[in-house]
C-alpha cells in the first residue's frame, strides 16, 4: 500500500483527548475531526463554494447522499468545522420520529429546539452557543453605538427594526429587546425567559405572554420562518450567516403515512424555493440521506414531482464522471487505501503527533486490516466505526502493557459487522401525526 507522509506537527491535548474518546465510543467527534479526515477533497471544495454563497448573502441547499456507512455524519461534521472557520454559525440535528420538518404535537418545534441546543461557532464548536451569539449581538450593538456617537438603545432599535419585516419578526425582536434589558439590568430571570423563547421551549402562548409580553411562540408551523430570522440575527451579531445541517432524513422516507411524508417533503420544497429565489438570505441547508430517500419513485423525494425536477442530477455525469456543482452531492464508500490512510492518521493522533511514540508499525496496520477482512469482508472499511474502536483498543493495550505483542493480540480482535439501522421500520405510533383525523380511527 502507498504510504502517506506524516506531519511532525504536535497535536494539542484538547483536540487529541476528545477525538480519541469519541472514536472509542463509536461517535463522531466534536473536536479534532479534521485531524483524521481522508479523501473528500473535491466534495469539501464544492461545499466551500456554498459557504461562500452564504457569506455573501445568498441561500444554498445541498443534499449529501450516501449509503449507510459511507461517512455522511462525519462529513457533515467536517463541513460544519469548515463553516466555523468562515465565521458562520451552525446548527445541526438528526431527524427522528419525534423531530420532523413538518408535524403536529410539537414535532417540528422539538426539531427547532434541538437545532438551537446544538448551535455552534468556532469558539464553541461543541454546541450550546446560543447564549454566546446573543451576547455577541449585545456587544456589537454597544460597539456600533460608540462608533456612531449614538446611544445603545437607538442602535438596538435600528437593528431590530430590520427583523420586523419577517414573519414572526416583531415577537422575535421584542424577545431580543427583553434580553437586552435583562443584560443591562442583570435580570437573570428575564434573561432565562428570553433564551427559553429563542430555543422554542415554550409550548403555550399564555406562558410566553406572561413571561415576556409576546403573543407568539415558535411552533410547528413556523420552523423555517424562524430559521430565516435566526440567520438574519446572526449577521447582526457579526457572523457571516447560518448553516443548518439535518441528518438521518431516511426517517422521512420510512414514514408509511403518505400525508405525513408529503407534508415534510413540501417543507423541503419551500426551503429549496426560498433559497433559490432570494427569499432566504445568509442561510444554507445541508440534508443528509440515503439513495433510497432521494430516488425511490414511490416514497423518496423523487416521488414528489416538484422535488424530482429540482433535484435530478446532471445526465452527463455517468460512467464514472461526476458533477459537484448540482444540489445533490454523492459520497462514495471508503476504499481500502482510504481506510489505511485513516488508520495511520488515528495512530498519529494517538501518539500526539510524535512518530517515535507510535504504538505499532505500518506492518501491524496492514496485518490488522487483513485480519478484519477475513472476519467480515469488505464491511470492515465500508462501515468502519466498530473497526476503528477495535484499532484504538489494540493500541490502548499495547501502550499500557509493555510486554504485549501486537501479533499475539491480533488474533483476539473481534470484529462484528454493523447492522444497518435504516432497515428498521418505524413504530406504528411514530408513523402518523397524533392530530391526524385518521390517527385514532378504528373499525
The model's pLDDT over 149-200, given as tens digits with 9 standing for 90+, comes to: 888 899 899 889 989 889 999 999 999 999 999 999 999 999 999 999 999 9
Residue 137 located in a structural domain: yes
Residue 9 located in a structural domain: yes
- State how far the alpha carbon of 348 is from the alpha carbons of 49, 75, 83, 395, 401, in Å: 30, 20, 25, 11, 19
Residue predicted with more confidence, 145 or 234: 234
Return the CATH number at 47: 3.40.50
Beta pairing, strands 89-94 & 328-330? unpaired
Q: Which helix (H) or strand (E) holds 285?
A: strand 283-289
Please name the residues in contact with 361: beta carbons below 8 A apart, sequence gap of 6 or more.
Answer: none
Checking if the pLDDT of 299 tops 60, the result is: yes
Percent of the chain residues past pLDDT 90, beyond the cut: 63
**Domain final residue, candidates 330, 356, 387:** 330
Instruction: Round to whole Å and give the CA distance between 247 and 43.
Output: 17
**340 and 404 together in one domain:** yes
**246 and 311 together in one domain:** yes
Give pLDDT, residue 347. 95
Residue 185 located in a structural domain: yes
Residue 163 located in a structural domain: yes
Residue 443 located in a structural domain: no
Quick: pLDDT tens for 18-66. Answer: 899 988 888 877 778 888 888 888 999 999 999 999 999 999 999 999 8
**19 and 54 together in one domain:** no
**365 and 400 together in one domain:** yes
Residue 27, burial from CB neighbour count under 10 angstroms (0-12, 13-18, 19+): exposed
**89 and 139 together in one domain:** no
**399 and 353 together in one domain:** yes
**68 and 21 together in one domain:** no
**365 and 310 together in one domain:** no
Give pLDDT, residue 338. 87
CB 429 within 8 A of CB 77: no
**115 and 248 together in one domain:** yes
- State how far the alpha carbon of 10 is from the alpha carbons of 16, 20, 34, 39, in Å: 10, 15, 14, 22
* Count of structural domains within the chain: 3
**311 and 248 together in one domain:** yes
Q: Which domain holds residue 255?
A: 41-126+240-330
Q: Which helix (H) or strand (E) holds 205?
A: helix 205-212
**111 and 55 together in one domain:** yes
Quick: pLDDT tens for 61-112. Answer: 999 998 877 788 889 999 999 999 999 999 999 999 899 999 888 999 999 9
Residue 203 located in a structural domain: yes
- Predicted model pTM: 0.87
Residue 259 located in a structural domain: yes
Residue 310 located in a structural domain: yes
**278 and 325 together in one domain:** yes
What number of CA atoms fall less than 13 Å from residue 443's CA on the CB side? 0
Amino acid at each position: 500500500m502507498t504510504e502517506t507522509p506524516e506531519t511532525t506537527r504536535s497535536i494539542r491535548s484538547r483536540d487529541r483527548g476528545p477525538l480519541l474518546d469519541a472514536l472509542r465510543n463509536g461517535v463522531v467527534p466534536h473536536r479534532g475531526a479534521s485531524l483524521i479526515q481522508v479523501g473528500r477533497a473535491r466534495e469539501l471544495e464544492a461545499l466551500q463554494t456554498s459557504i461562500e454563497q452564504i457569506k455573501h448573502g445568498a441561500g444554498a441547499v445541498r443534499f449529501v447522499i450516501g449509503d449507510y456507512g459511507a461517512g455522511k455524519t462525519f462529513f457533515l461534521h467536517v463541513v460544519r468545522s469548515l463553516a466555523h472557520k468562515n465565521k458562520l454559525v451552525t446548527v445541526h440535528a438528526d431527524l427522528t420520529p419525534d423531530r420532523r420538518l413538518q408535524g403536529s404535537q410539537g414535532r417540528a418545534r422539538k426539531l427547532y429546539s434541538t437545532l438551537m441546543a446544538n448551535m455552534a461557532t468556532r469558539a464553541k464548536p461543541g454546541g450550546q452557543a446560543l447564549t454566546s451569539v446573543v451576547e455577541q449581538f449585545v456587544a456589537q450593538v454597544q460597539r456600533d453605538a460608540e462608533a456612531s456617537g449614538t446611544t445603545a438603545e437607538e442602535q438596538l432599535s435600528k437593528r431590530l427594526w430590520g427583523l420586523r419585516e419577517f414573519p414572526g419578526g416583531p415577537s422575535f425582536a421584542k424577545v431580543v429587546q427583553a434580553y437586552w434589558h435583562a443584560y443591562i439590568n442583570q435580570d437573570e430571570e428575564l434573561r432565562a425567559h428570553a433564551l427559553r423563547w429563542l430555543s422554542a421551549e415554550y409550548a403555550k402562548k399564555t406562558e410566553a405572554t406572561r413571561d415576556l409580553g409576546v403573543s407568539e411562540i415558535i411552533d410547528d408551523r413556523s420552523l423555517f420562518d424562524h430559521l430565516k430570522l435566526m440567520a438574519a440575527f446572526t449577521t447582526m451579531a457579526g457572523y457571516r450567516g447560518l448553516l443548518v445541517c439535518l441528518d438521518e432524513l431516511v426517517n422521512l422516507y420510512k414514514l408509511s403515512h403518505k400525508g405525513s411524508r408529503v407534508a415534510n417533503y413540501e417543507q423541503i420544497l419551500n426551503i429549496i424555493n426560498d433559497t433559490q429565489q432570494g427569499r432566504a438570505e445568509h442561510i444554507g441547508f445541508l440534508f443528509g440521506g440515503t439513495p433510497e430517500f432521494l430516488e425511490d419513485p414511490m416514497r423518496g423525494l423523487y416521488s414528489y414531482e416538484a422535488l424530482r425536477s429540482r433535484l435530478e442530477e446532471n445526465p452527463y455525469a455517468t460512467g464514472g464522471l461526476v458533477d459537484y456543482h448540482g444540489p445533490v452531492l454523492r459520497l462514495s464508500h471508503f476504499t481500502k487505501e482510504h481506510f489505511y490512510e485513516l488508520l495511520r492518521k488515528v495512530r498519529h493522533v494517538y501518539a500526539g503527533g510524535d512518530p517515535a511514540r507510535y504504538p505499532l508499525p505500518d506492518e501491524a496496520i496492514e496485518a490488522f486490516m487483513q485480519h478484519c477482512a477475513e472476519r467480515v469482508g469488505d464491511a470492515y472499511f465500508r462501515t468502519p466505526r466498530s473497526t476503528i474502536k477495535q484499532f484504538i483498543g489494540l493500541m490502548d493495550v499495547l501502550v499500557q502493557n509493555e510486554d504485549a505483542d501486537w501479533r499475539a493480540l491480533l488474533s483476539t480482535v473481534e470484529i462484528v459487522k454493523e447492522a444497518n439501522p435504516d432497515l428498521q421500520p418505524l413504530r406504528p405510533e411514530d408513523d402518523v401525526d397524533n392530530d391526524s383525523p385518521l390517527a385514532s380511527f378504528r373499525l
